[in-house]
Structure 1
């Protein structure tokens, strides 16, 4: 091949390579354009979503219209009695005979045994429960426990048509420099006023370094224990908040502090939101923001858990584990939100059935690891008498059905609850965070609802029933919170 031919071949080859390079360059440029366009669109969409979330979080809806005198008693009888009447807890002889008869019926039954090495993962363990049942039959003294339950002063007064039961415990203070301040303690389900018996003496006793002590008011929520239930649907936690505020006014307290957990948290939070000029401070042992945006942030936070949760990352994530826990342990809630009267009939028919149902909640909500233990871990955290006192209060009053209806009312009022969750309260707030609480939120999410979150108490122990399980830590946290509220 001649020199000229070689040059022609090389020129053709160069042209071909040039075309291919140009083609590759054009293709590469096209890919980068697609990537750039996709990134731009994604950025715009994320910005829009972030703006929408920000707008929703920062938008403050109007307070729902509330009737401060809404009547919940029988429609054909309007009660105007505002007297405060002494009350006494009694376990009657008839009730004792009935329950012992039912005990004997249960004792004679052929009972299925739990699987070996399953703990309480299938529910109440038969061997663990039989030890509890044996204590109930042979050790629990109805007379002595009724005497114990009456160690504090009990009262009854009619508020908005309902007889509301409450304990009212005043401190004995000799030091004029120690101020007595009113504190409302609010329980939830399946707890009761019994949760606070061990912590009340700590709250009414002057504490070194503090210039105040508490006058404690502990009501039974409407439908719970000795408080009368509503005669019609609609008595949600929001409307119970009004009843509790009116109760405090009845007792002469126009300004007071509120503490709550479980349903008590919801009631107390609503009181702080509705009556910010009356509630001096709100202490909660269920520090959570129940708005849908808080839950959305929690789910999105699984992309970068430590950024969202901070020191609480192991309590909030991974999301899959938490959802699995909720699906496994919250079947009771679905049942009580839909058919409380159905399960109520079954539970009120048998004291043993009632006890097993309630114990299962105390077991897992105190520490989820309890389900792996034969005895359910209950003897580790509570005395048998404490647990039985709480069960007996439900049994003696036949109130398990009306208490569970609060779940149904909560579901029915979920739209209003979301509105309330979106309205910030200026009331000073304090969060007690225990390790095994059911829901955890970091401070920045809490401040969407409680912008005046002035402090927290955190512990690497404890569960859902703070006062019942950890009375000292609970009382210490309340004292510290109120001291901060008062800026002393």
Structure 2
């Protein structure tokens, strides 16, 4: 009898191991058509066309007219950024935007890197493609796709690109030299918005994968934060044989173990694999996690349910758009900045850089389509998509910036990315890593790629 029980237990363990072990699943490569009308019967134009950012006096005059018509409300006394963007400081931003900001000069800066467009699944996809100015003899650059999120743009990467494509000129080793591709998510900036419902991160991942193939890259690295981290993760889940390495500065991990670690990490620190740094970044739990999520996620509820409603106001008012977006560049950079009347915005960014990002939304009229990305990805709920439960079986690097919206301990990241080669506690920086701390992020990417290449 005992033998039968023992054998049954062993058999049960074996069956459980086979059922529960990691399965290297891949996301199916499907097909979509996101342009207007029905899918054409003829083949798609696969040409890659040069593109140039342009502006006009009429565009600037219209912006100035709208700024001049701004009607502001008075902030509460001593409210700082606790109620949102403080309108006292907004007056300074408006004045600079109206009287000193030189959009034509910023357009010249945008055009320093080569821009292109190409049609994929019915949409004109915009990207910049930066090749190294020089390469060591006998070497070829490593292709690297950088993907932005919301409310950012491809412009977030302008300061990190030279550190990756021309490292020696910036005091870095030329051991790793990259050829950088930065696409705009469909519906953001110069990438055409979908005409149909359903264009989510998986569809975007497929489009960006097709872009890399069109550029003749069979193997490449990908890096992203915010939506970019999810899109890059989906690319790795879809075509793992084509992704040499995945580097992230934010992780979408929806496993129960994540929330268990968050709640119990301080009490069962050793058992749950939490370090002292993890504890410092996650506790007190109520303030650093619960209150923070409630305080910073209101926009997400709006954009995941009815993005077009608030979009009507933001697409009509440049100042409203600036306040809505720039508030994120305050508190997502450092949550303590909400205690400052100016939101600490100019501690990490220049007004020229911040307003250039705003102008990429304003001049293209893409705030509504960019917000719809939340509806497409979160509108059906959390943990309802296949990719959310899938692990990622490509070499992965993770940079944990201390002021990120929600800290993810190494053990939590590894639960979704079992081939995690590097996990770095970054010394400073928040959500917009490439924009805030390009040197730190570039160094971590280079470190990770070095580990991949030495495997």
TM, length-normalised to structure 2: 0.90
Shift of 1:373: 0.6
Answer whether contact 1:178 1:213 (CA < 8 A) is retained: no
SS of residue in 2 equivalent to 1:435:
coil
Aligned to 1:71: 33
2:446 matches 1:475: no
Change (3 A) 1:416 1:441: closer
In 2: Cα distance, 1:351 partner to 1:63 partner = 42
RMSD over equivalenced CA pairs, Å: 2.1
Change (3 A) 1:121 1:305: farther
2:332 counterpart SS class: helix
Structure 1 residues 112 and 425, CA gap change in structure 2 (3 angstroms): closer
Q: 1:291 deviation in Å? A: 2.8
Sort the Cα spacing of 1:441 and 1:307 in 2 relative to 1 into closer, same or farther, 3 A: farther
Matched, 1:388 2:355: yes
Out of 48, 52, 72, the position equivalent to 1:88 is 52
Equivalence map 1:41-440=2 (5 Å): 58=21, 60=23, 63=26, 65-67=28-30, 69-76=31-38, 78=40, 80-106=44-70, 109=71, 111-207=72-168, 208-301=172-265, 303-305=267-269, 307-308=271-272, 309-310=274-275, 311-321=277-287, 322-412=289-379, 414=381, 418-440=385-407
Q: Is the 8 A contact 2:27 2:237 kept in 1?
A: no
CA distance in 2, matches of 1:419, 1:443: 23
Contact 1:186 1:264 in 2 (8 A): yes
Whether the aligned pair in 1 keeps the contact of 2:220 and 2:243 (CA below 8 Å) is yes
Greater helix proportion? 1
User: Is residue 127–residue 181 contact of structure 2 (8 Å, CA) maintained in 1?
Assistant: yes
1:487 is the counterpart of 2:449:
no
Q: Per the alignment, in what secondary structure is the counterpart of residue 299 of structure 2?
A: helix
1:95-123 residue CA offsets vs partner (Å, 9 max, x unmatched): 111111111111xx4x3322222210011
Alpha carbons 2:135, 2:141 under 8 Å: kept: no
- Distance of 2:252 and 2:335 partners within structure 1: 19
Give yes or no for contact 1:265–1:285 (8 Å, CA) kept in 2.
yes
Of the two, which has the highest radius of gyration?
1
Cα pair 2:103 2:356 within 8 Å, conserved: no
Alpha carbons of structure 1 residues 431 and 75: separation in structure 2 relative to 1, 3 Å:
same
Normalising by the residue count of structure 1, what TM-score does the alignment of the two structures yield? 0.84
CA contact (8 A) 2:222 2:247 kept: yes
| In 2: Cα distance, 1:429 partner to 1:413 partner | 28
More divergent stretch after superposition (126-135 vs 301-310)? 301-310
Number of residue pairs matched?
432
